[in-house]
Structure 1
Amino acid sequence: MFFPIQSEHCFISLFLSSWASVDHPIHAPPTSGDPFKVTFDPPAHCKLRFEGGVMTVTPGPDSERKSFNWPHPNLEDFLKDQNMMFALISDGPLMSFCYRRLSYLSNKYQLHVLLNEMKESAAQKEVPHRDFYNVHKVDTHVHASSGMNQKHLLRFIKKTMKNSKDDVVCRDKSGKEMTLAEVFKSMNLTPYDLSVDMLDVHADRNTFHRFDKFNAKYNPVGESRLREVFMKTDNHIGGRYFAKVIKEVMEDLEESKYQNAEFRLSIYGRAMDEWDKLAKWAVTHRMFSDNVRWMVQMPRLYVSFVSWVLNLDLVYTWTDLTNFQVSGFDSVDDESKPEHLMLDKDSPLPEDWTSPENPPYSYYLYYTFANLVVLNNFRRERGLSTFVLRPHCGEAGNVTHLVSGFMLAESVAHGLQLRKVPVLQYLFYLSQIGIAMSPLSNNSLFLNYHRNPLPDFFNRGLNVSLSTDDPLQFHFTKEPLMEEYSIAAQVWKLSTCDMCEIARNSVLQSGFPNEVKEHWLGPNHLNEGIGGNDVSRTNVPDIRIAYRYHTLVDELRCICRGAKGSGDHGDGVAEKPL
């Protein structure tokens, strides 16, 4: 195996000690009893403030603690490692090496399927009761505001207009209150007029490479007022209609039993009371389901850094929710927008940012992660749940986004651009960083379905899962996640073993607590290799799990021998059989 001399050590150390390992968050057990009962009092003996864009916690005068010595990511070290990563992904010999290893992994998998496909199929048939339909699967990337399909939204709007037309739902430009009937009258609409076609919320050929047109699809009938009334948590009616339609979606998940989802809700950072309002919405409408966990997404839209990234109120006002169902944070926006700035040592601190330009992707991600490290340690000491960072990353735009994702994220959404960067793709494989992919979404926005790299990533052994992204825009059926699996299986000729493996990946990537994952995957699911597989629950044969594990171990051995200068030339053959 050949490594460029100057890149050898850095390549090894970067993937073995990813930045995300500085403080690996742990999910606490589910809260028993009433999940909406607040039992936590804010610690008066602690002072929390931001210094240099990162939360700091210091003991107050009444505290028994003298100090809080928690690990803290250093910006200087991050920038140094980031620059080294930029050098590695553009290093010619290293690119060739990683490309060859990835090609080897693809061919090795094809050989495995040729030799073992019938054995895997036979092993699945020996498992009583279990099949693809009744293995647990999680929609690891879905936005709550479009969590329903278009037919569901249409039916809900018509039903609400029939039963609640006299509800005061908003104000007009003059400040006068308007009922739902008056809103429809102002648009010259009646419930009878509405149809799926008139609703016009489904992505079409005109949204391809047009993220602006895609965002406009969130407005039913092209009216932002209807979006405000039916699809917002913070509106004149306190998000009552939105809560009702999402609860109907959750009931569908509960009825299907084996399908689960992680819905994303937005915090924009425009005001300090956003956390309070979102928590109030969730508590008031009791937004709880055993089949659902929540993610908080922060759109990278520069408005103000007054409540930069993680408002301190999160520590207090969200206690009643985060103990059992908020699993992490997401960073989302149109990645294809050009960035004219880069995070470097001269970048202003968040409190000093005065440029009208949006901060770069790595700026958002670094400060989000740095705050999560401190926040997770602070919450863990108080017996509260902790959070992970799982951002949108690599859907389009600059491949440098994926560098930040590799260094800081537990898993990423989309990851399409990895197909262009063999070094990063190989690192994602070695580190087994999760990638929640949405082929139907990509097909309408950035990449035609037949060009999607998901089957290549899966064959090579990357940790991929299937997700829906926006069922309102992309799906037609009552079960959008099953629709996603069905189309992928038909187009890419996936076997039931393949689909069960992807479903297992989705559970492992998700933010459901370990106690739940033990029930779904088996009590030893955290163990490596076949020791962590319970085929009676996952329906993934031990043959497949053993292949994935042994192949990954072989690759790690190959890397380590190369770093030690053992003389291996990259043929992928282990010195000793496993």
Structure 2
Amino acid sequence: MALIINGPVKSFCYRRLQYLSSKFQMHILLNEMKELAAQKKVPHRDFYNIRKVDTHIHASSCMNQKHLLRFIKRAMKKYPGEIVHMEGGRGQTLMEVFESMNLTAYDLSVDTLDMHADRNTFHRFDKFNAKYNPIGESILREIFIKTDNHIHGKYFAHIIKEVMSDLEESKYQNAELRLSIYGRSRDEWDKLAQWATTYSVYSDNVRWLVQIPRLYDVYHSKKQLANFQQMLENIFLPLFEVTVNPHSHPELHLLLQHVVGFDSVDDESKPEHHVFNLDSPLPENWTEEDNPPYSYYLYYTYANMTVLNHLRRRRGFHTFVLRPHCGEAGPIHHLVSGFMLSANISHGLMLRKAPVLQYLYYLAQVGIAMSPLSNNSLFLSYHRNPLPEYLSRGLMVSLSTDDPLQFHFTKEPLMEEYSIATQVWKLSSCDMCELARNSVLMSGFSHKVKSYWLGPSYTHEGPEGNDIRRTNVPDIRVAFRHETLCEELQLITHAVQTQDYITPVSTKLTP
């Protein structure tokens, strides 16, 4: 935090970032035609048949509006007498639920569903969250897009399987869907695992991330949690138990084979009354009404994950990574926490206001999953989005959809995201393929899968690690990125040794 506000450091980083942008423009002027020629020489491969991963998408909104509408109409015709909800001690059938709203299958339309983000959701996260409710009714959200309800998430599983089927049909598109674990009770993991195994919600094109909403204050006010420690125990104890003894939670053991990491979600622009430091209470002593700050959530998630990963590695299981929502809005220190603790982040918009942090994210090549259409509806208009700037400077960025249900119109939301970005920002075929390659590198798919998608040497740096026959990214582009990064790292090493560029900063930083 001290470095970020240090004048000489800010100037140095800003100039280096400007230099990186200019250097990329020079590279394009000199090599654009060579890159295109290299791509044309590759047999069979083009942008449409290289692997792409939607690195940030929520399961509860992974379908588009039209898909959900058709599914609801089908359900009303197929299961009209199925009891889907308990009201006042008696069961309500699907038909009765809709009759209570004075609606028939014929009446339903995309307009009555009203789940698309619009101009009224801009800077209104509360209104955006309300858009998750079909026809504005929370009961329909519970019936159709929840895993834990009276019908045990049956409809939600069916619609996700339809989305998976579409991905498998497209072959080259993959997704990392987010499912929620709230930390309100110890049996949430078992219920989620039971849902996944009962309906066999698995696909080779899909991996899962578990998102933890930062809602301790809500649960505490409802007397569901006495302190923050209880929330952490509800989230992590079942994971330790199943790692030590897979037979203790057999269904959870199966589910975890497809889970690649954790996400931290909520509205980042909510005001925070605390900064996490050595004076902050331990989780068992956090009993106050206020929500812990962002950095507090992230640190304790990271700390528990680290211990869990050591145990899983010893037991021969795969490990998890932390990939939180970070820098979509809110204060800069969220991005500091993200930089210190995360493998990748989602959004990263606020980096445009912090040259020191942006340069650090570049040097460390921390992945940033960006969703310009989502940001355009919620926080930042499309033409001001920093993605093309980040890409030109060489930050590790990828394109993702976030919430197709709210933001996209077509059956292939990820391709919609790519096509709009390409047309608005005039991206070249090489730029698009580079974004797709980044998305695979950032993703949680296994080493074996990535070797097949990108080439067996993909872990090597520079052109050695690139196989143009699989990625369609020319070696010229990969070599340029690698050489530029090496030069910047060399410069930093030299600057630290000689103190030519940076005025020393006091080392007395607040923990």
What's the TM-score bracket when you normalise by the shorter of the two chains?
over 0.9
In structure 2, the partner of 1:137 is 52
Measured after TM superposition, the shift of residue 252 of structure 1 is 0.2
More helix per residue: 1 or 2?
Answer: 2
2:322 aligns with 389
1:369-448 paired onto structure 2 within 5 Å: 369-448=302-381
In the alignment, structure 1 residue 322 sits paired with structure 2 residue 262: no
Equivalent position of 2:441 in the other structure = 508
Contact 1:319/1:384 (8 A) holds in 2: no
Q: Distance in 2 between matches of 1:363 and 1:164?
A: 45
- Could you tell me which runs of 5 or more consecutive residues in structure 1 were left unpaired when the two chains were aligned: 1-85, 570-578
Q: 2:270 aligns with which of 337, 343, 346?
A: 337
Q: Which amino acid aligns with 1:479?
A: E
Deviation larger for 345-354 or 226-235: 345-354
Identity %: 70
1:54-453 superposed matches below 5 A: 86-172=1-87, 174-302=88-216, 303=219, 304=225, 305=228, 306-308=230-232, 310-315=235-240, 316=242, 317=249, 318-323=252-257, 325-453=258-386
Deviations 1:45-92 (A, max 9, x none): xxxxxxxxxxxxxxxxxxxxxxxxxxxxxxxxxxxxxxxxx1001101
Question: What is the Cα deviation at residue 382 of structure 1?
Answer: 1.1
SS of 2:178's equivalent?
Answer: strand
User: Which 10-residue stretch deviates more, 308-317 or 456-465?
Assistant: 308-317
Pairing partner for 2:497 from 564, 567, 570: 564
- Find the aligned partners of 2:100 and 2:286 in 1 and give their Cα distance: 42
**Amino acid in the other structure paired with 2:37:** A
Partner AA of 2:32 in structure 1: E
8 Å Cα contact 2:236/2:304 also seen in 1: no
Q: Is the 2:63–2:404 Cα contact (8 Å) retained in structure 1?
A: yes
Tell me how far apart the structure 2 counterparts of residues 209 and 307 of structure 1 sit (CA, whole Å). Answer: 29
> 2: distance between equivalents of 1:368 and 1:314?
13
- Identify the residue that residue 18 of structure 1 maps to in structure 2: none
> What are the superposed Cα offsets for residues 382-434 of structure 1, whole Å, 9 maximum, x if unpaired?
11121000000000010100000000000000000000000000000000000
Deviation of residue 307 (structure 1)? 3.4
TM-score, L = length of structure 2: 0.93
How far the C-alpha of 1:107 sits from its partner, in A, is 0.2
The residue identity in structure 2 corresponding to 1:337 is: K
Equivalent residue runs for 1:428-577 within 5 Å? 428-565=361-498
Contact kept? 1:361, 1:401, Cα under 8 Å: yes
* Cα distance in 2 for residues equivalent to 1:195 and 1:568: 61
Of 497-506 and 346-355, the range deviating more from structure 2: 346-355
1:341/1:360 contact within 8 Å kept = yes
Distance apart, 1:568 and its partner CA:
7.7
Change in 2 beyond 3 A, CA 1:567/1:350: closer
The CA deviation at 1:567 is 5.5
SS of the residue 1:106 aligns to: helix
Cα separation, 2, equivalents of 1:292 and 1:175: 38
C-alpha distance 371-568 of structure 1, shift in aligned 2 (>3 A)? closer
Alpha-carbon distance between aligned partners in 2 of 1:170 and 1:180, rounded to the nearest angstrom: 8
What CA deviation, in whole Å up to 9, does each residue of 1:146-197 have, x standing for no partner?
000000000000001011111110111x121011001001111101000000
Q: What SS does the aligned partner of 2:2 have?
A: helix
Q: Equivalent residue for 2:505? A: none
Instruction: Find the residue that maps to 2:319 and give its secondary structure.
Output: coil
Q: Following the alignment from structure 2 to structure 1, what is the Cα–Cα distance between the partners of residues 96 and 47? A: 48
- Large movers: runs of 4+ above 6 Å: none
Residue range with higher mean Cα deviation, 441-450 or 298-307: 298-307
**Worse-matched range after superposition: 345-354 or 362-371:** 345-354
**Equivalents in 2 of 1:546, 1:568: separation in Å?**
27
Unpaired runs of at least 5, structure 2? 220-224, 243-248, 503-511
For residue 362 of structure 2, give the secondary structure of its aligned residue in structure 1. helix
CA RMSD in angstroms, aligned pairs only: 1.0
Q: Deviations over 1:89-130 (max 9, x none)?
A: 110110000000000000000000000000000000000000
Inter-partner Cα distance in structure 1 for 2:204 and 2:192: 20
CA contact (8 A) 1:465 1:505 kept: yes
How far residue 381 of structure 1 moved from its aligned partner, in angstroms, is 1.1
Distance 1:522 1:148 in 2: 31
1:558/1:568 contact within 8 Å kept: no
Q: How does 1:34-73 map to 2 (within 5 A)?
A: none
Q: SS of 1:142's equivalent?
A: strand
